[in-house]
Structure 1
Amino acid sequence: MPRKPEILKRHTVARSRLFRADELLLRFSNGEERVYEKLCAGGPGAVLMVPILDDGRVVMIREYAAGIDDYHLALPKGAVDRGEEILDAANRELKEETGYGARDLRFLKRMHLSPAYMEHGINVILARGLYPESLEGDEPEPIEVVPVAFDDLLELVIQDEVCEGRSIAALFYAKAWLEKHG
């Protein structure tokens, strides 16, 4: 494995309410220097849940996405609050967004959407043993909860409204994990 580049200089070039972009001056092991930009993570992280009902269906949500100016079908997700454990955050977000809590929460994997220029990652959590329980969330409108068949994953992800890469990757990863570990 190659030696990581040395960071010679780092400074913030842009900031908004949600994002911060930093510029990095890097020196690689062969002496080459380059300027990179990256979107920086804020806060303690995020969770994305793959909630499985006892009948085998996965619980997805339909909500508005400003980035595409449309509604889409995705897995529930949210921020980890400061001082909150990842699995506690997953159960809280699950209750806020789906009206279910989970008796069995299992960390599966940390994923990055675009590691070449984004620091952000998300912790994928498998949620089973679901039971009805709601918490008030911070969404601007009610989220539609949509249980969908999990046995034909290809049929699910080819639907136009299933377009979020993190959800698609987490669904395939969870399906493979369940086939191996049960």
Structure 2
Amino acid sequence: MYQENQGEDFVEYTPFEPQGHIITSDPYFALMANDDGEGFVHCGDGVLVVPLTADGQVLMAVEHSAAFRRDVLIVAGGATEPGEALEETANRELQEELGWRA
């Protein structure tokens, strides 16, 4: 179990290992099926960041979506690198995708 300091509160995080077999995978996702044959997608640890400005505005980016064949609004997010704390991942993704620092 992992505990991360969130001010006075702690967020508990327990790694999850999916049950089933891998149908196909790449470095980021695995298409899997459970024993009943139900399919699901598994990905490793990651974060989504919904940053708020001092005046309460949400910072988002526009990104082209191949699935929707149009531009869509996204929040910053991505996979956690090995040994990287979730807070570090959040800051890295915020900088990479929106050009902001927390």
Same-fold call, TM > 0.5?
yes
Structure 2 counterparts to residues 26-175 of structure 1, below 5 A: 34-41=36-43, 43=44, 45-102=45-102
Percent of residue pairs bearing the same amino acid type: 34
More helix by percentage: 1
Following superposition, which runs of at least 4 residues in structure 1 exceed 6 angstroms of deviation?
none
Closer/same/farther in 2, CA of residues 55 and 11 from structure 1, 3 Å limit:
closer
Query: How far is 1:16 from its partner?
Result: 4.1
| Aligned counterpart, 2:21 | 11
- TM-score computed with the length of structure 2 as normaliser: 0.68
Letter in 2 for 1:59: L
Unaligned regions of 5+ residues in structure 2, if any? Answer: 1-18
- Give 1 or 2 for the bigger CA radius of gyration: 1
User: What number of residue pairs does the alignment pair up?
Assistant: 83
Q: Secondary structure at the match of 2:101?
A: strand
Q: Secondary structure at the match of 2:71?
A: strand
Letter in 2 for 1:46: G
Say what the alpha-carbon RMSD is for the aligned residues.
1.9
- TM-score computed with the length of structure 1 as normaliser: 0.41
